[in-house]
Structure 1
Amino acid sequence: MTYRYQVALVFLLGFFIDCVNIFMSAVALPSIATDLQVSGTAVAWVANAYILGLTLIMPISTWLAGRYGSREILTLSMLLFSITAGLCALAGSFPELLFWRLLQGIGGGLLIPVGQALTFNLFQGEQRAKISTLIMAVALIAPALSPPLGGLIVDHSSWRWVFSSNLPFSLLAAGLAWCWIRERRAPPGPRPDLRGLLLVSAALATLLLGLSLYGTDYPPLAAASCLLAGIGFSLLYIRHCRRSTHPIVDLRLLRSVRLSGSIGIYYAIPGLFTGVNLLSMFFLQDTLHFSAGLTGSFMVLYAGGAFVAMLVCGRVYQRMGARRLFGLALLLHSAGIGLLCGVDTAADLPLIIAAYGLMGVGGGIGANTAQTTALLDFDGALTHKGSVIWNINRQMSFSLGAALLLMICNLLLRTLPTHSAYHLSWAIAALLGLLPLLYLHRLQPAKQDTYAHLQR
């Protein structure tokens, strides 16, 4: 195996672990909520805490790699991930579980941008599209395998084993990183922008907290205050970014229509799907009384549709272009969400199957095209910066999508019957998923652009 494929394998294994960690834990959330006696809204913080950890460390991960070495950072990330996975399984209370999930996110956040930047710098031009296809293949295999396996674990054992099951893979990734990575240590860049890091973390934390509180038993003023604080921290960071020479998250790179457009698609498709799927888990298990194993198995249908779409997308990307593929993806994905609005009883199983299949095809086209398109304009140091923005937003899309739809559903449950509240929540999600159609015209076919001016 050549060196670049060794590097790619380390990154893909870490990426696989990250995806498994998100989707396997999702199917266990109803069980965690019951066991630790917390609400459905609160239990979503099992995922949110992980995302916050990722956000906290991702922006400085490449600086740490430059200072201490990529091999050392990649190995440390997977060791930290392994230790905290075991501690999550042993957590005796909900706050304790959230604390270890936060640290687990820090472990995952060290690996992803460093590994992706190393990999993408070794695969240039058309080869980058091929490695993007491999990345998306991993992104499909993980959601296909982890929810049904997680459901079986929950049904026949305990949700705690959902976290313990990550250990063999993360320890393997740590060993391979130590043995294979031999990237020369680059001179460390400027000191990390700690003020910017605090502003970014505060913005995300308060926005998620506001969305989580809104529509629950907490006073509306508390939720509104958190949301306003989140908006305020976001504006402060934008101002800080304009004045900083080396901002922690370089928003100037968003002038790349390919990067900003791909990020928007990720919020509209995988992000919203995370929320849709979370509502589906609670609706099917708590209302229609499906087992955790059966609800998890629907992700196999999603992954199957996405796998077919990925194969087709890899062949037609150059011919059709990102704009057409994104448009098709948005339409198919929203159509799949819309089918869930017709699910009333356990007898509507064919409708659920069709819904997850359609969402899978749309999700596969959208996510694969976004992964291929996002960093096309960058190389060298800009790849590292672009990778940080891309991965932070990729992870944030999952949490914000889940928090937004949980908030909408909680508000609707106050005034509507259970079935109607879920149906209307999915209808709103389907409409929200079509919003990026309004700006797809900006993704005009163009020659490879050079974005060196983004550093100015």
Structure 2
Amino acid sequence: MTYRYRVATLFLAGFFIDCINIFMSAIALPDISRQLHVSESSAAWVANSYILGLTLIIPLSTWIASHIGVRMTMMASMALFSVGALCTGLSTDFNGLIVFRLLQGAGGGLLIPVGQALTFSLFQKNERARISTLIMAVALIAPAISPAAGGVIVDHFSWRWVFLCNIPFSLLTAALAWWWINAEKTTAQRPDLVGLALVSLALAALLMGMSLYADATNPALPLRLVILGVIFAALYVRHYRRQPDAIVDLSVLSNPRMRFSVLVYYAVPGIFTGVNLLNIFFLQLVMGWGASETGLLMVLYATGSFGAMSVCGRLYNRVGAAKLFLTGLICHAVGIALLSLVGADYGLPVLVVAYLLMGIGGGIGANTAQTTAMIDFTGEHLSRASTVWNLNRQMSFSVGAALFTLLFNLLQQHTTATSAYHTTFLIAALLGLLPLLTLMSLNKQPESLCNQKEN
């Protein structure tokens, strides 16, 4: 195996472990909610705290790699992840579990942007579609096997093993990083700590506000947190305009392909994460399904995604991104809308069609977005774009989970649980079509990279 494929393999291994932690942990949330006596919206923090840990560390990853080297960064990433997974699995209270998930996320977040930037730098521009296809293949395989495996673990052992079973894989990845990666250092400027603090506080306040609002008897505190999150976000924009070395380079969003791909990630993987989380609770708490049965639905999603991804890779250069985005978003939205029909009269057949359609739409949309987002970036701009893209990817998962659990809890106060689930699914389907309003932006010529903000 050549060096560049060894690097790609390690990056994909870290990405695989990251995806497993999102989808496998989701299947365990009903059990965690019952055993630790927390609500559905609070249980979502098992995922949110992991995402927050990723968000805190991703902007620092390039700077850390410039000081200790790429090899040591990748090793440290998986070692810290392993410690976090061990402590999470052994946690006896919910607050401790959340703290250790934050640590686990920080560990996972070190490897992904460093590995992606190094991998893309080793492949020519016309070869990146192949790497993007491999990335999406991992993004499909992990959701296919991890919920089903997690369901078996939860039903026959304990939700704790959902976290503990990751440790052998993360330790193996750390060992391979030591053997395979060259001991070289990159160059990076001192990180923008003020910017990092503002970004982290904005995300944390927004997520906490949405989570607390669902269970709060007095909405004043959650609303203040949401307002505070918006203020921190506005302060970061102001800080970015004055700081030449801002930690998140918003200038990459001036590229229409990157900007549209960011929206698509909220509309496809982001919305799906929230919808799938609610459907897990719906099937287990309302329909009486087991964790194993619920987890098997992701095999259908992955099957649809794999077929779509295989076709998408060949069609990208023939039909263009716009037509693929249109097809993917519509299929995904129709699949989500079908979930609103699931009940006593319509069960398994509707779920099969819904998850296949969501898989097809998700495979087309996410794969096309992954290829399109960074196709215009090279060199230092590629590293900046990689940081923004990975932050967006992680944030879309967390925002999707928080938004739709909030929406469900608000609807549940005025109707039955089943009706609240179904209405939430319909709203999610409509929101998933919103990027189509700006689809024509892909026809604009990308702004010259040399005109983007320089560090």
Normalising by structure 1, we get a TM-score of 0.98
- Other-structure match for 2:228: 229
Amino acid at match of 2:14: G
Partners of 1:358 and 1:370 lie apart in 2 by 18
Amino acid at match of 1:322: A
Secondary structure of 1:439's counterpart equals helix
Cα offset, 1:445, TM superposition: 7.2
Partners of 1:450 and 1:69 lie apart in 2 by 31
Partners of 1:241 and 1:129 lie apart in 2 by 31
- CA-to-aligned-CA distance 1:190-223 (integer Å, 9 cap, x gap): 2110000000000000000111122323411111
Partners of 1:418 and 1:34 lie apart in 2 by 17
Partners of 1:421 and 1:427 lie apart in 2 by 10
- Other-structure match for 1:159: 159
- Other-structure match for 1:294: 293
Cα offset, 1:186, TM superposition: 2.4
- Other-structure match for 1:399: 398
- The 1:435–1:347 alpha-carbon spacing in structure 2 relative to 1, beyond 3 Å, is closer
Normalising by structure 2, we get a TM-score of 0.98
Partners of 2:82 and 2:306 lie apart in 1 by 29
- Counterparts of 1:45-444 in structure 2 under 5 Å? 45-182=45-182, 184-187=184-187, 189-345=188-344, 348-444=347-443
- Other-structure match for 2:14: 14
Cα offset, 1:184, TM superposition: 2.7
Cα offset, 1:347, TM superposition: 5.0
Secondary structure of 1:184's counterpart equals coil
Secondary structure of 2:299's counterpart equals helix
Alpha carbons 1:378, 1:450 under 8 Å: kept: no
Secondary structure of 1:185's counterpart equals coil
Alpha carbons 2:71, 2:184 under 8 Å: kept: no
Secondary structure of 2:214's counterpart equals coil
Alpha carbons 1:58, 1:110 under 8 Å: kept: yes
Q: How many residues align?
A: 454
Partners of 1:219 and 1:124 lie apart in 2 by 55
Alpha carbons 1:74, 1:111 under 8 Å: kept: yes
Q: Percent identity?
A: 57
Partners of 1:225 and 1:445 lie apart in 2 by 39
**Unaligned residue ranges in structure 1 (runs of 5+):** none
Query: 268-277 vs 316-325, which deviates more?
Result: 316-325
**Unaligned residue ranges in structure 2 (runs of 5+):** none
Alpha carbons 1:377, 1:449 under 8 Å: kept: no
Off by >6 Å, runs of 4+ in structure 1: none
Partners of 2:171 and 2:263 lie apart in 1 by 34
- Other-structure match for 2:452: 454
Partners of 2:269 and 2:91 lie apart in 1 by 29
Cα offset, 1:444, TM superposition: 1.1
Partners of 1:224 and 1:432 lie apart in 2 by 22
- CA-to-aligned-CA distance 1:360-399 (integer Å, 9 cap, x gap): 0000000100111111111111111111100011000001
Alpha carbons 1:288, 1:346 under 8 Å: kept: no
Partners of 1:369 and 1:325 lie apart in 2 by 7
Q: How big is the alpha-carbon RMSD for the aligned residues of Structure 1 and Structure 2?
A: 1.1
Cα offset, 1:258, TM superposition: 1.1
Cα offset, 1:455, TM superposition: 2.8
- CA-to-aligned-CA distance 1:40-65 (integer Å, 9 cap, x gap): 11010000000110000100100110
Cα offset, 1:346, TM superposition: 7.4
Partners of 1:131 and 1:172 lie apart in 2 by 22
